[in-house]
Structure 1
């Protein structure tokens, strides 16, 4: 008697082999020889073709088919599509360490897990995931690597401000209390304030940033 895992493997291979089926978005589960298909296809013909392909596999006793037809103009908001778009957005953002972050989507709810080096990376990942159409909520379970705060953290942040072509380092104050950084002073625009905060988060050992910069 063929095992469920063997049948599942062969069903996946048969779907991939069948040229008339877009197999990438079809899920396959097998219990006691009963195959359950789920996922999305672009038209009804492919839906039928997928079912026929499964029935050709030896050991399949029955097919429970839950594939949905997703027309080209329909919103791309299935869990699989949301996950793919989040991963793609992560790969485009140089700030987000995509290889360190795992994405799970269930019922349009996103869960991010893994370990990153800086808090601003976790925040950037949460914000990016939340911008995807169809996302209901984002559970940010990312942890930040614990790095001891360096003695010259204040100087490092101030030097980062001076290297920045947009920021006027002379107008921004930095107070360091262990891993907590308090930023003060004035800038001309929100973008400058965000850049200053991000620079502070990038310093080794920073665990909190209190942004008290005023937009003048």
Structure 2
């Protein structure tokens, strides 16, 4: 079995192993570490979970996702989805609701504006992605931290070293004003995302450029 077929099979087994994906048919192709998914799911939240499962599979370097959300219910109007999205944002006290604008078009929710922290950006996305009837979320929120503290390069590097998931991985951190660039090598897509997640915890970051490469031993 060649490497492409092996990766395809590994992804298929990983999806099959998840009980909440029972009765869900997902097409999987693999080519040089790039995995493409196709098919339909009954919720946007499930679509996100499928992506997480695939990213954990060893050998996946990139993911192309063509999954469509078909809820199997009478579609809600964009107006109703907008009301629910606004309520979901307002219920989460960690999200600065006054800094976020919501646009809904054909079942897709667009988040526009700026927040101080990446966790607020991700909290907003998570809040609206759980709404039944949402077909997709485009998170265009910018990170514009108001902190005047300089980004501590050594603090970021030490935080990366403390991660058990990134043990024995050498990741370089470069800081240019409010932009952090990550370089180095890891073994999986999941490790690459973990390095970025940890880096976002540093105050003052507006943008992260993740140039970490995935190399499998």
Structure label with greater radius of gyration: 1
**TM-score, normalization by structure 1:** 0.48
**Relative contact order (alpha carbons < 8 A, sep ≥ 6): 1 or 2 greater?**
2
